[in-house]
Structure 1
Amino acid sequence: MADTESGRDWTDPTCPVARTIDLVGDRWTLLIVRDAMDGPASFTEFRQRLGIARNILSDRLRKLVDHGILSTRPSGRRHVYELTGAGKDLFTAIVALRQWGERHAFADGESRSRLTDADGRPLADLRPQGQDGAPLTTDTTRVERVI
């Protein structure tokens, strides 16, 4: 279905999860966003870190800029890409994916990178909570569908 305001085709126009996946849900896009969280990077730096084909990287960077997730600024003869406020807002989602991966995508004792706070301490597990601070789960929430 097309969003009449933007002309964009959305998988499910009323679902925030579907729209987010439409914008950043492929492998390379999320890895670019993850790497951008380490600070501004050039096309070449992304390419070296990710081992991604030039055409795919160019396409994903263009889309991220077009959707306001990354911005560009000049840096010498090149320009660098950096997260916008919207891009920085993906930090919680990236941490949630990382923590899920730590619990479910690695065997016990298998080596992996770690994300720590500035003092080197591991992050607390992210858990949704209600306005009153009580933990929320799939059993204690519901989606109100637009009719």
Structure 2
Amino acid sequence: MALPRTYESQNCSIARSLEIVGDRWTMLVVRAAFEGVRRFDDFQDVLGVARNVLTDRLSRLCDEGILRRVPYQDRPERFEYRLTRKGVELWPTMMSLMAWGDRHYAPDGPPTLIGHRGCPGTLTANFTCDACGASLGPADVEPRPGPGR
């Protein structure tokens, strides 16, 4: 039996959150936005997602206030998609999900390490740098190739 798409009958913040971000393509769009992808064609190139699926996910993320559309060209009118504050708040969740996947589904080691920008250290489970101890957020880090790449 398939699960329903919405969970109105459940008084549960996890279920309500999954209504918004519980789809594979949605989370991969958010991941790409954290990696600096901004334009529709770039999202499509990076993700290999069908245009209609990408259009749907970008629209939904904008409707939910996770991304915002910012014009960058008038003729023809074109937009970039940028994370909002609400979207940036997904960063700890994304990093925790990545670490969980690294532990359980990366037999050759993590494909990507999250490095402390300007420092040789990497992100710990406590969102600090393992080299210098600084607290880290999304603006402080950069992806680096890991051993499983």
Q: Which residue is 2:40 aligned to?
A: 43
1:41: Cα distance to partner? 0.7
Q: Which of these residues, 25, 29, 38, is aligned with residue 32 of structure 1?
A: 29
CA distance in 2, matches of 1:120, 1:58: 38
The alpha-carbon distance between structure 1 residues 102 and 11, as it changes in their structure 2 partners (threshold 3 A), is farther
How far has the Cα of 1:12 moved from its partner? 4.9
Kindly report the root-mean-square deviation, in angstroms, between the aligned alpha carbons of the 2 structures: 2.0
The code of the aligned residue for 2:31 comes to R
Q: Distance in 2 between matches of 1:20 and 1:29?
A: 12
Q: What is the CA-CA distance between 1:40 and the residue it aligns to?
A: 5.1
* Structure with larger Rg: 1
1:56-109: CA deviation from partner (whole Å, max 9, x where unpaired): 0000000000000000111124210000010000000000001001110111x3
Output the amino acid matched with 1:114: L
Q: So what's the TM-score if we normalise by structure 1?
A: 0.74
Alpha carbons 2:37, 2:43 under 8 Å: kept: no
AA aligned to 1:24 is V
Q: Check the 8 A contact 1:41/1:80 in 2, yes or no.
A: yes
Structure 2 counterpart of 1:63, from 60, 64, 68: 60
Alignment of 1:130-141 (within 5 A): none
- Is the Cα–Cα contact under 8 Å of residues 32 and 43 in structure 2 kept in the other structure? yes
Distance 1:34 1:89 in 2: 12
User: How far does residue 10 in structure 1 lie from its aligned partner after superposition?
Assistant: 3.0
Partner of 2:114: 115
**Alpha-carbon distance, 1:116 to partner:** 1.3
CA contact (8 A) 1:12 1:18 kept: no
Partner in structure 1 of residue 15 of structure 2: 18
Q: CA deviation at 1:13?
A: 4.0
- How far did residue 111 of structure 1 move? 6.0
- Which residue of structure 1 aligns with residue 130 of structure 2? none
Structure 2 CA distance for partners of 1:12 and 1:87, relative to 1, 3 Å: farther
**Matched positions, count:** 119
Runs of 4+ in 1 over 2 A off after TM superposition: 9-13
| Residue number in structure 1 paired with 2:125 | 125
Distance verdict in 2 for CA 1:41–1:105, change over 3 Å: same
Unaligned runs of 5+ in 1: 1-8, 128-147
How many angstroms apart in 1 are the aligned matches of 2:124 and 2:7? Answer: 34
Distance 2:9 2:122 in 1: 36
More strand by percentage: 2
